[in-house]
């Protein structure tokens, strides 16, 4: 408590930067809650300032997390090898709903994010299997028995 009072009354920018960096790193951590408690003991004005800074850090953290989730979803769609519309169909949602996830406007549930990962992986494997199969007929030499060789087209199924 005394250390916080000293920092509140005579703290340097370096000291406040240290405390703020702790809040930025973990805005929901016990450290943040403890700072608010200490500020409350010193008065409502300081409590409000500290609480507002922590709230700002929480909002910025949520925004970063939302962007990271959207980036992950864009990556899953790209890796799937299909269009965003096709991915939505495979996922069992509408293209417009998937678009809200891709843009970051809406954050999907954890269960839906897992389904997106499974769907992307399944589509990647499907694409790899399709790529491994010949896409056009391959000519094979087949002996006819009387010194002649027939050329036959082998049509691979895919």
Residue 100 and residue 49 in one domain: no
Class of residue 116 by CB neighbours under 10 A (exposed 0-12, middle 13-18, buried 19+): buried
Residue 111 and residue 93 in one domain: yes
Question: What percentage of the chain has pLDDT greater than the value 90?
Answer: 56
Could you give the number of structural domains in the chain?
2
Structural domain contains residue 141 = no
CA-wise closest residue to 55 among 25, 23, 30, 18: 23
Structural domain contains residue 154 = no
Q: CB of 50 within 8 A of CB of 36?
A: yes
Structural domain contains residue 158 = no
* CATH number of the structural domain spanning residue 99: 1.10.260.40
Q: Which domain holds residue 104?
A: 63-132
Question: What percentage of the chain has pLDDT greater than the value 70?
Answer: 80
Q: Is pLDDT above 90 for 1?
A: no
Confidence of residue 155 (pLDDT cuts 50, 70, 90): very low
Residue 91 and residue 69 in one domain: yes
Residue 22 and residue 71 in one domain: no
- Give mean pLDDT, residues 103-113: 96
The span from the CA of 75 to the CA of 73, in Å, is 5
Q: Which helix H or strand E contains 138, and what residues bound it? A: strand 138-143
- Give mean pLDDT, residues 36-45: 87
* Predicted local confidence at residue 153, as pLDDT: 44
| 28 alpha carbon, distance to own chain's centre | 20
Confidence of residue 134 (pLDDT cuts 50, 70, 90): low
Residue 39 and residue 81 in one domain: no
Tens-digit pLDDT profile for residues 50-92: 999 999 999 999 999 999 999 999 999 999 999 999 999 999 9
Largest Cα span, the chain = 106
Structural domain contains residue 37 = yes
* Predicted local confidence at residue 107, as pLDDT: 96
Decide: helix, strand or coil at residue 154: strand
């Amino acid at each position: 408590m005394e250390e916080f009072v000293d920092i509140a009354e005579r703290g340097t920018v370096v000291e406040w930067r240290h405390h703020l960096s702790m809040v930025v790193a973990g805005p929901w951590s016990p450290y943040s809650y403890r700072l608010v408690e200490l500020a409350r003991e010193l008065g409502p004005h300081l409590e409000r300032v500290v609480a507002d800074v922590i709230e700002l850090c929480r909002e910025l953290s949520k925004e970063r997390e939302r962007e990271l989730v959207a980036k992950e979803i864009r990556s899953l769609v790209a890796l799937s090898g299909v269009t965003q519309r096709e991915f939505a169909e495979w996922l069992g949602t509408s293209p417009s709903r998937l678009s809200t996830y891709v843009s970051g406007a809406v954050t999907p549930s954890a269960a839906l994010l897992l389904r997106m990962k499974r769907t992307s992986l399944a589509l990647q494997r499907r694409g790899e299997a399709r790529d491994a199969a010949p896409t056009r007929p391959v000519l094979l030499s087949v002996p006819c028995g009387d010194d002649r060789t027939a050329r036959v087209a082998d049509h691979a199924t895919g």
